Chain A
Amino acid sequence: KQEVTQIPAALSVPEGENLVLNCSFTDSAIYNLQWFRQDPGKGLTSLLLIQSSQREQTSGRLNASLDKSSGRSTLYIAASQPGDSATYLCAVPSGNTGKLIFGQGTTLQVKP
């Protein structure tokens, strides 16, 4: 059974810092991994999708890496801004439906 864990659960940093969010999964037989952002009470915004054949994916100040063999992914946020404050979720598809298994999320606060 696939399980996804995110560490830390919460993070507070001053503006301008570079930071890393961690995601681990128990079953390495995945074909992709998605990182999402969620603002309070809102839906999920897809940030990055990494295919199983890729090691990294970049979008602006965001960089996600994937190491299938160790069951880990990281989301690197460069030069953090207060507008980055949100909950970040990682998810992997599972089973023959592609249903997403989510971690609990990391809630990020970037202080001005």
Chain B
Amino acid sequence: ETGVTQSPTHLIKTRGQQVTLRCSSQSGHNTVSWYQQALGQGPQFIFQYYREEENGRGNFPPRFSGLQFPNYSSELNVNALELDDSALYLCASSLDGFYEQYFGPGTRLTVT
């Protein structure tokens, strides 16, 4: 059984640029949730994808968008990067969203 994987591990971008982060869900899981974790804080929910449809969104602006593919892997896209977008981005997969969630290792994004 393959766990949740994320790529890249680290990323440095300039303010105003765009970034795409990737997540492969655990085998058998159909739901992927994305979270942003600022330094010293608990993770904050960005949005969730269930069977390729967005299924809920947190308090994040529209420049945060995503996709889920037929194999249930997912992408998080952030446009017009701001300095405050610097954070650890975590994805979690689960079966149907309500059961135990399994997290990937995260992508550390630094915006300069």
Residues of A within 8 A of B (CB): 4, 31-32, 34, 36, 41-46, 49, 89, 91, 93, 95-105
CA distance A95 to B97 in the complex (A): 11
Query: Quick check: A34 and B45 within 8 Å, CB to CB?
Result: no
Q: Which of A44, A46, A95 has the most CB of B within 10 A?
A: A44
CA distance A91 to B104 in the complex (A): 16
CA distance A26 to B88 in the complex (A): 26
Query: Quick check: A99 and B94 within 8 Å, CB to CB?
Result: no
Q: Is B48 in contact with chain A by the CB < 8 A criterion?
A: yes
Work out how many contacts link A and B, with CB atoms closer than 8 A: 69
Q: Is B81 in contact with chain A by the CB < 8 A criterion?
A: no
CA distance A95 to B105 in the complex (A): 25
Query: Quick check: B45 and A99 within 8 Å, CB to CB?
Result: yes
Query: Quick check: B56 and A49 within 8 Å, CB to CB?
Result: no
Other CB < 8 Å A-B pairs besides A43-B90, A97-B48, 8 of them?
Answer: A31-B98, A43-B6, A97-B97, A98-B33, A98-B48, A98-B94, A99-B33, A104-B40
Query: Quick check: B101 and A34 within 8 Å, CB to CB?
Result: yes
Considering the complex, which residues of chain B in the window 58-76 have a beta carbon less than 8 Å from any beta carbon of chain A?
58
Given known A31-B98, A36-B103, A99-B33, contact A41–B92 (CB-CB < 8 A)? no
CB proximity of B22 to chain A, nearest CB, Å: 14
Which residues does chain B contribute within 8 Å of A99, judged by CB atoms? 33, 45, 48, 56, 58
Which residues does chain B contribute within 8 Å of A31, judged by CB atoms? 98
Query: Quick check: B103 and A102 within 8 Å, CB to CB?
Result: no
Query: Which residue of chain B is the closest to A94 with respect to CB atoms?
Result: B45
Which residues does chain B contribute within 8 Å of A91, judged by CB atoms? 42
